[in-house]
Amino acid sequence: MRIRALVFLVMCIPSLLVAQRRGGGGGGGGRGGEGRGRGMNEEPPELSTKDLLKYNPVKLLVDKHGALKLDATQRSTLAHLNDSVGVNVARLVARIDTAQKSLTASMDARAAQGGRGRGRGAGRADGTRGRILATRQSILTNLDSLAREEDGAKALALAALRENQRPKAAALIARQDKDLRKKLDESGYLNRLPPTTPRL
């Protein structure tokens, strides 16, 4: 009986170790102890709606009208411009937000599948991987569109200002762009954008 018990215990140890690794050793695993346990397959930090809406430099200048000493005509011009730019930016931001939620769901599904590439679950795993790649590409495409929208809006906004107002306005936009560039870099998307994407 002792020999049988010993053999049974030895056979069970590998299974217990695998289960422990998959469960993160009971510590939750994942980024910052968030408990997702994705490891190398973990999705990048999400870009918040607040960060993405900064792709609208026109709104920034409207908000800073006092510091820029804009007159009534300039405020009206920028407000009308912001109506159209704001709609375009909000539409693209909504697409990215939806794609990020879809990416998180796909990454969760992939983690649940255990990264299996053979046997009965191979088809589901391949399908999940395909959705992840397509969703990431969708995010990059919409980020590229946002950058182009921001680039065009920046030129139109600065054109509405007087010569002596433009340096301060440009500095405000550059500061916001720097913050946005940092967020994009942290998310891992900055260096994945196409070479033709306007630089922030």
The DSSP annotation for 29-68 comes to -SGGG-S---GGGPPPPPPPHHHHGGG-HHHHHHHTHHHH
DSSP 192: G
- In this prediction, residues 3-7 reach a mean pLDDT of 41
Residues in the chain: 200
Q: Is the model's pLDDT at 25 over the cut of 60?
A: no
Position 199 confidence tier, pLDDT thresholds 50, 70, 90 = confident
Burial of 85 (0-12, 13-18, 19+ CB in 10 A): buried
CA-CA distances (angstroms) from residue 145 to 14, 31, 57, 89, 191?
50, 29, 15, 9, 15
47-90 pLDDT per residue, tens? 999 889 989 999 999 999 999 999 999 999 999 999 999 999 99
Burial of 42 (0-12, 13-18, 19+ CB in 10 A): middle
- pLDDT at residue 28 in the model: 37
Q: Is the model's pLDDT at 3 over the cut of 80?
A: no
Position 148 confidence tier, pLDDT thresholds 50, 70, 90 = very high
Query: Which of 28-32, 40-44, 106-110, 119-123 has maximum average pLDDT?
Result: 106-110
31-43 pLDDT per residue, tens? 333 333 333 355 5
Domain boundaries, the chain: 48-192
Neighbour tally for 152: CB within 10 Å = 14
- pLDDT at residue 123 in the model: 57
- pLDDT at residue 150 in the model: 94
